[in-house]
Amino acid sequence: MRRWFRSYWTEEDTWFYFEVDADGWVTRQVELQGPLEKPIAAASLAERQAAQTAGTLAGYEKAFGATAEVPVHEWDDHEPHDLTLEEFETVWLAARTACQAEARNRSTSGA
C-alpha cells in the first residue's frame, strides 16, 4: 500500500513531499525550497531507473532531481505529516510543470 506524506527540514529550508511504497521506498519525491516554496525537484523512481538504463540519468537528474536512495524507515525522524493522494498529486503536478519549464529554459538559453 502506498502512502503520502510531507516533512519540513529546517536545515535545508525545504518541504519534502513523498510517495512511498509498501516497503518504505520513495517512488516519487518533490522538494520545495525557501519561503516561496520554489520547486527544485519532482523525481520519479521509475523514470530515474529508465533514464539510468537509457544512459540519460544526468539529464533526468538535472531536470527533475532524484528520489531518496534508502527506505524511509532508515531515516532520522523529521515529523512527517500524512497527505492524501489528492494533496500529493496537486503538489506533484505543479512541481513537475515548474521543473519541466526550468529545463526548457535552460536548454533554450544554452545553460
Grid coordinates representing 56 are 540519460
Whether the per-residue pLDDT at 5 is higher than 60: the answer is yes
What pLDDT is stored for residue 107 in this prediction? 72
- Smallest Cα–Cα separation from 39: which of 90, 95, 93, 80? 95
Q: What is the pLDDT of residue 103?
A: 85
* pLDDT > 90 fraction of the chain, expressed in percent and rounded: 75
Q: How far apart are the first and last CA of the chain?
A: 40
CA separation, residue 88 to residues 20, 26, 34, 56, 104 (Å): 11, 13, 19, 27, 24
Q: Please write the tens of the pLDDT for every residue from 57-105.
A: 999 999 999 998 888 887 766 678 999 999 999 999 999 999 999 888 8
Backbone angles phi, psi at 13, to 5 degrees: 45, 50
> Which contacts of 19-22 are long-range, i.e. CB under 8 A and separated by 24 or more positions?
19/88, 19/92, 20/72
Kindly tell me if the per-residue pLDDT of 42 is higher than 60. yes
What pLDDT does residue 69 have?
Answer: 86
